[in-house]
Structure 1
Amino acid sequence: MASFDIVSELDAHEVTNAVDQANREIQNRYDFKGVDARFEHSDDQVVLWAEVDFQLQQMLEVLRSKLTSRKIDIRCLEVKDPETANMKARQVVVLKQGVDQALAKKITKLIKDSKIKVQSQVQGDQVRVNGKKRDDLQQVIALLRGAELELPLQFNNFRD
């Protein structure tokens, strides 16, 4: 039986490179001269630090452009509201990974409604799709690529 996994993953190395590039660009920009503005990257989030709200919006655009140029889909970003206190502004951008339960149910419902002869099952933060024919699995991949979902999807472990 042929199968594949539907996952939503980020390349951590590319994210780190994009954040480093964004930091370099912010340090070199004229409108940020003499301003304490920076990006801090941890495992699943990027924190933007600046002096005012307006600068955070500019920094967010720089971050999005750097991520896009490194082929990271910006639908995986969850931008939180900015926080300001004592001449400091801070904004958290969460990097979403994994297929959560609600999205997994939506994916399995989409597959079942399409009447393609495959079975799908949720396994943690991924969805496994099994079928007898390779063509059926490719139809499912095409269906999901055409669907408007809130997270970018990747298709791993395609086995024939």
Structure 2
Amino acid sequence: MASSFSFDIVSDFDRQELVNAVDQTVRDIKSRYDLKGTKTTVELGPEAITINTDSEFTLDAVITILQTKAAKRNLSLKIFDYGPIDPAAGGRVTQAIQLRRGLTAELAKDISKLIRTEFKKVQPSIQGDAVRVVAKSKDDLQGVIQRLKEEDYPAALQFVNYR
């Protein structure tokens, strides 16, 4: 039996589920009566989703559809970082939605500090864009996970590599 147990706290998303959500959004746009003639495009790049449409009203409708499809596929809405709405050629509007992946250094420090102050028998350590948590008891690790789920962080947290 291992003398200590650990898990990693990361912020990531399933890329294939995001691809499926964007595809469903595009299909929905083509079939909706209020969006049919707008020539709206939704493009998924490696780091961002770009939406190009007629007006801010249709942009809001497309974003609502995208959020609904993402939520149905168990993707957190915290992965979307909405950029400014930019005017495009022909009176159209464009918005880039950056995709958040990984914990920022500041967020990792906040999580480590919370764990250190509330759980004395647990050792957190920052490793790149993840936080590894080590303890001698699985119960202590379960307590850390429950406590972190109570907090509302600006990133979607996942708990992986539980050993």
Paired residue for 1:112? Answer: 116
Alignment partner of 2:56 out of 53, 56, 72: 53
1:58 partner letter:
A
Alignment partner of 2:69 out of 66, 69, 90: 66
Cα distance in 2 for residues equivalent to 1:34 and 1:61:
18
Q: Does 1:122 align with 2:126?
A: yes
Percent identity among equivalent residues?
37
The list of structure 1 runs, each at least 4 consecutive aligned residues, that deviate by more than 6 angstroms after superposition, is none
Q: Where in structure 2 are the equivalents of 1:67-106 lying within 5 Å?
A: 67-86=70-89, 87-106=91-110
Task: State TM-score, norm by structure 1.
Answer: 0.96
Closer, same or farther in 2 for the Cα pair 1:116/1:143, shift >3 Å?
A: farther
Cα distance in 1 for residues equivalent to 2:84 and 2:64:
15
1:144 partner letter:
L
Q: How much does 1:148 deviate?
A: 1.4
Uncovered stretches (5+) of structure 1, i.e. residues with no partner = none
2:118 partner letter:
S
Cα distance in 2 for residues equivalent to 1:140 and 1:119:
11
Alignment partner of 1:17 out of 13, 16, 20: 20
Task: Please give the root-mean-square deviation of Cα atoms over the aligned residues, in Å.
Answer: 0.9
Superposed CA offset, 1:105-154 (max 9, x none): 11001101213411001001100001111111111111111111111111
The SS at the match of 1:71 is coil
2:107 partner letter:
L
1:132 partner letter:
K
